[in-house]
Amino acid sequence: MSAPEQPQLYLLTPPVIELSQFPDLLATVLDAHEVACIRLALATLDEDRIARAGDVCREVAHARDVAIVVNDHAGLAERLGLDGVHLSDAGKSVRDARKALGPDAIVGSFCGTSRHDGMSAGEAGADYVAFGPVRPVADQVAAEAELFQWWSEMIEVPVVAEGGLTRDLIAALAPHTDFFGIGEEIWATDDPNATLKALTASLR
């Protein structure tokens, strides 16, 4: 994913999805909003369940020319015809994922709040790095606005802001990030489409 002129939307699936319902919900959101990429971010480690979800979500995404990546499973990305992989731990090897998937695949890396991990991922060939959460969640330390500002000024690798996003945080971070990774912020509500519209009002 190349850096856009203004931040774009990067949707994360819920950790658990109902295959009989979620594809239609995802299609509704994609039809109403311009989305750059979707991440299959299931909590399960069961590859069969991930593969079934990957198949249906890929159909919805690719029918709308939206890229789709999967958390960590580079092998599944290739097998399912997905566009790449998101490494959920900065310790996972970007180089190995790139070697497995080839030069055209998307390879992203979540780097928490660490500049060092972000730079290491970028130097290893990551297409983007993700920092977050952007506000404290449970016992996690927040990725401060200063991190995104520094990154956008010093580093060319696109950056994703994710985790605990609010309307105010999106407005504040918009000048310093390339993508907003939005997931449970919308899926946990009764109307994900309306929630996404309200969250991202400052981007229009």
Check pLDDT > 90 for residue 5: no
Query: pLDDT grade, residue 169 (50/70/90)?
Result: very high
Other beta carbons within 10 Å of 167: 14
Tens of pLDDT, residues 108-156? 999 999 999 999 999 999 999 999 999 987 778 899 999 999 999 999 9
Model pLDDT for residues 73-121, shown as the tens digit of each residue? 999 999 999 999 999 998 889 999 999 999 999 999 999 999 999 999 9
Tell me whether residue 60 is exposed, middle or buried, using C-beta atoms within 10 angstroms of its C-beta: 0 to 12, 13 to 18, 19 or more. Answer: buried
Q: Which two tokens stand for residue 30?
A: 């994609």
Confidence category of residue 4, pLDDT binned at 50, 70, 90: low
pLDDT in tens, 8-48: 999 999 999 999 999 999 999 999 999 999 999 999 999 99
Q: What is the pTM of this model?
A: 0.95
Per-residue confidence band for 192, with pLDDT thresholds at 50, 70 and 90: very high
Q: Is the dihedral of CA 9, 126, 44, 161 positive or negative?
A: negative
Q: Name the one residue in this structure whose structure tokens are 């959920």.
A: 88
DSSP state of 81: T
CA count, 13 A, side-chain hemisphere, 144: 4
The full set of domains in the chain, from first to last, is 8-203 (3.20.20.70)
What pLDDT was estimated at residue 2?
Answer: 67
User: Quick check: 66 pLDDT over 70?
Assistant: yes
SS3 content of the chain, % helix, strand, coil (to 5): 40, 20, 40
